[in-house]
């Protein structure tokens, strides 16, 4: 399997750096091919310009995505989303005709997205660290549930472009990661990496399978009747 | 009143550029003082470095925030959140001791945030444009409800630092904004700008008013019992 790790942390000696190194070594030991886009080390250009067309740096990232079977996005949660440098990777690499604007747009079909798209058939997983505690991100935690905070990335970026999205690998309270917790984290991460191909993805609803009105793109009335919010875009299990 | 507009769009001749110019003129005509941080024009440095301390560019933005009574963040919605250049403004300007890490952290109190903080007493409002249609962002729309998509910004950035957050000013389906719709949009924007001081903010719950367990920071069991998700952090009206 070909694995691309898109990695954003400014300090290679950080917990994130150590986890990234562990992931690369673990995947390679299992016989997989790994590429890493280390955005800080690459000094990735972050801002999308007016009328920008994909230059060589963007084309290289698009080629890596096409090469990959699985894409891991690794970052510390800053202000409840990805660091700016990774957002700039998305803004620029997900260009028109690659990340969006694919397929027929008409009264019958609203493009190839949300389950279809350039990256259909691939898998994606977030690896995210937080300074805050796990309960702060729980169903009744003050920050909001982590699943809802990550929904715009999971659903609006990864699934949008066609990828199946695996549940995230999360490490909370990073300031308290000592050697024992780091060893536990690596063991758990290893299990997650060993099951990238077998694990069940988040069951987002495909846009073009008949669940949505077109062009309003609202969930049809008879599906999850009366329910609202991000969660209705997950099929009942 | 002092108004700061933090503005991110790569093309000054865009709809966003025209709306920004309208807002500045309208506010100034009403006697307000206005500063604009035009992030693209400023070539804002987007990436937060390891162990970065606030340099002159960051200090200038912090001074503008302290000067302002109301802060407007204006941007096109890219991948369901702000463009990278504005995220980089947050990552760098909301530095430790300014945007977070304020106040006592103990078993009794978890810092001055979510209603308290450096920017307490100020107001904030998002001005956001989208290419997608309004129903796509409705309660059952495929993108997720706009209120939920903006929650990490409203609650996790603006309210976190102490600001009261007004409902957003939204313009959907930007490709179809002709002169008539632009005139309507300006009229509506004018009304919103005229009521910045009077409008009711989104009623987020203050962290330090007793609604939350500390240090778990989960909503106390007797409040909105059994409910989960982002919405529980809004007080019942």
Closest Cα partner for A192 from A162, A159, A153, A166? A166
> Does A175 lie at the interface with B, CB-CB under 8 angstroms?
no
What residue has token string 């300006």? Answer: B186
Q: Does the pLDDT at position B168 exceed 70? A: yes
Distance between CA atoms of residues A203 and A64, nearest Å = 25
Q: What is the structure's pLDDT at A209?
A: 94
Q: What is the structure's pLDDT at B107?
A: 83
A172 backbone φψ class: left, alpha, beta (φ>0; ψ -120 to 50)? beta
Q: Do B46 and A85 touch (CB under 8 A)?
A: yes
* Min Cα separation A31/chain B (Å): 33
Average of pLDDT values for A66-85?
98
> Does A217 lie at the interface with B, CB-CB under 8 angstroms?
yes
Distance between CA atoms of residues A11 and A19, nearest Å = 12
Strand partners, B38: B7
User: Which chain A residues touch B116 with a CB distance below 8 Å?
Assistant: none
Place A237 in a pLDDT band, splitting at 50, 70 and 90.
Answer: low
Strand partners, A111: none
Contact A116, A187 (CB under 8 A): no
Percent of chain A whose pLDDT exceeds 90:
96
Q: What is the structure's pLDDT at B236?
A: 81
pLDDT tens figures, A171-190: 999 988 899 999 999 999 99
Average of pLDDT values for B186-207?
98
> Does B190 lie at the interface with A, CB-CB under 8 angstroms?
no
Average pLDDT, chain B: 97
- Farthest CA pair distance, chain B: 57
User: The tokens of A189 are what?
Assistant: 């991460």
Percent of chain B whose pLDDT exceeds 90:
96
- Farthest CA pair distance, chain A: 57
Average of pLDDT values for A194-223?
97
Q: Return the number of CB contacts < 8 Å for A and B.
A: 180
Q: What is the structure's pLDDT at A236?
A: 81
> Does A107 lie at the interface with B, CB-CB under 8 angstroms?
no
Distance between CA atoms of residues B237 and A74, nearest Å = 39
Query: CA angle, corner A228, sides to A222 and A230, nearest 5?
Result: 115
DSSP A143-196: T--HHHHHHHHIIIIIITTT-EEPPPEEE--GGG--HHHHHHHHHHHHHHHHTT
> Does B176 lie at the interface with A, CB-CB under 8 angstroms?
no
Q: What is the structure's pLDDT at A108?
A: 85
pLDDT tens figures, A50-68: 999 999 999 999 999 999 9
Distance between CA atoms of residues B134 and B148, nearest Å = 14
Average of pLDDT values for B125-131?
98
Average of pLDDT values for B91-116?
95
Q: Which residues of B142-180 are buried (b: 16+ CB within 10 A; e: fewer)?
A: bbbbbbbbbbbbbbbbbbbbbbbbbebbbbbebeebeee
Contact B164, B124 (CB under 8 A): yes
Average of pLDDT values for B117-122?
98
> Does B222 lie at the interface with A, CB-CB under 8 angstroms?
no
Q: Do B207 and A142 touch (CB under 8 A)?
A: yes
* Min Cα separation B189/chain A (Å): 25
Distance between CA atoms of residues B144 and A142, nearest Å = 20
Q: Do A142 and B94 touch (CB under 8 A)?
A: no
DSSP state of A46: -
A12 by Cβ neighbours in 10 Å (0-12 / 13-18 / 19+) ranks as: middle
Q: What is the structure's pLDDT at B106?
A: 86
Q: How many CA atoms lie within 13 A of A121 on its CB side?
A: 8
What residue has token string 């590429």? Answer: A35
Domains within chain B, CATH numbers bracketed = 2-202 (3.40.50.360)
Distance between CA atoms of residues B88 and B85, nearest Å = 5
Place B237 in a pLDDT band, splitting at 50, 70 and 90.
Answer: low
3 state DSSP class of A124: strand
User: The tokens of A183 are what?
Assistant: 């060893």
- Model ipTM? 0.97
Distance between CA atoms of residues B229 and B215, nearest Å = 19
pLDDT tens figures, B47-88: 999 999 999 999 999 999 999 999 999 999 999 999 999 999
Q: What is the structure's pLDDT at B181?
A: 94
């Amino acid at each position: 399997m070909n694995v691309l790790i898109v990695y954003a942390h400014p300090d290679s000696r950080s917990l994130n750096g150590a986890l990234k190194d562990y992931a690369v070594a673990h995947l390679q030991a299992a016989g997989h091919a790994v590429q890493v886009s280390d955005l800080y080390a690459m000094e990735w250009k972050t801002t999308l310009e007016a009328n920008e067309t994909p230059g060589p740096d963007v084309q290289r990232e698009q080629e890596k995505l096409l090469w990959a079977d699985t894409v891991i996005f690794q970052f510390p949660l800053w202000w409840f989303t990805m660091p700016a440098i990774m957002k700039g990777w998305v803004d620029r690499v997900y260009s028109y005709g690659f990340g969006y604007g694919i397929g027929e747009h008409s009264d019958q079909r609203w493009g190839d997205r949300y389950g279809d798209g350039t990256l259909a058939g691939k898998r994606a997983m977030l690896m995210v660290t937080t300074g805050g505690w796990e309960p702060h991100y729980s169903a009744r935690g003050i920050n909001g549930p982590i699943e809802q905070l990550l929904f715009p990335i999971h659903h609006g970026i990864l699934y949008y472009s066609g990828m199946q999205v695996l549940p995230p690998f999360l490490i909370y309270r990073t300031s308290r990661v000592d050697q024992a917790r780091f060893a536990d984290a690596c063991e758990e991460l290893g299990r997650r990496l060993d099951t990238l191909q077998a694990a069940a993805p988040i069951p987002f609803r495909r846009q073009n399978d008949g669940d949505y009105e077109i062009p309003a793109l609202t969930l049809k009335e008879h599906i999850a009747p009366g329910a609202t919010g991000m969660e209705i875009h997950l099929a009942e299990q």
